[in-house]
Amino acid sequence: MKTLLRIGGWTWSTNFPAAASTEAGRKLFAKSSVTFMKDWGFYGIDIDWEYPADATQAANFILLLQTVRDELDAYAAKHAPDYRFLLRIAAPAGPQHYKILDLRSISAVVDKIYLMAYDYAGSWDSNAGHQANLYPNPGNPAATPFSTNAALTDYLAAGVPSSKIVMGMPIYGRAFENTDGLGRPFSGIGQGSWENGVWDYKDLPRPGATELYADVAQASYSYDNKSRKLVSYDTVDVIKNKVSYLKQKGLGGSMFWEASGDRVGEGSLISASFQSLGGADGQESINNMLSYPDSKYDNIRAGLS
């Protein structure tokens, strides 16, 4: 297992525009990020800017990534010759966000792009919908406002190598209450495992609900006819289907958000993906970095072997 330092996310991304807007800010960000990485013994940095809002921020994003890449390489040249510390990003699946980005230039700087192929529908919508469907449903467009295949097609057309794209998959479901089904209006989202309207996969389906599959969209969900509650989420079979899809497309693997919501044993989504990708033999092989000689912590500085 290799752990990376993730910076940003939905909550903290408002800090990126200012940090990325000047050369001094970018250098400070890169230096402090790499310092934190080596002090704690991480294998690289994962930047999650949600999301650059215009062409200026998109250009600054590339400059920021390049500055971090340069700082990682400078640290490696001094302390870990011939080792490449990883630089990865989380990237949007919504065209209103990714069409602002220079995806080709980004892909030239980073090692992997985690495509956040989820949250296609939720509390912000007017109709209940699939939150992580592979394909759109032309017969029920209100249920599939976005799709993974559409996003991936655009990324590839923009010049991103397929091997650098990692498909994100949710380990949670998004709920819709008082609805007659997919593509229909809803009222309220109800409770959740840790946030209203959001249920951990391990808590699904809810009591009284029936698990269903939408063939055209290639997505699963549950529905309770009595309570009129619908939850959109991935099942083991859907994960296996997605892995088959990403292998056909030559993608770089799968990513999940997030592990604490998974089940243990045969029902595990992460395990289903792992096995479908070939188990241990199907995983990317990268040497561990066990030496961080200038970490400020004695135990890290002494070596991780």
Tell me whether the omega of the peptide bond preceding residue 51 falls within 30 degrees of 0, making it cis: yes
Residue 50 annotated as catalytic: yes
Among the listed residues 50, 211, 258, 284, the single catalytic one is 50
| 90/47 Cα distance (integer angstroms) | 7
List, by residue number, the catalytic residues. Answer: 50
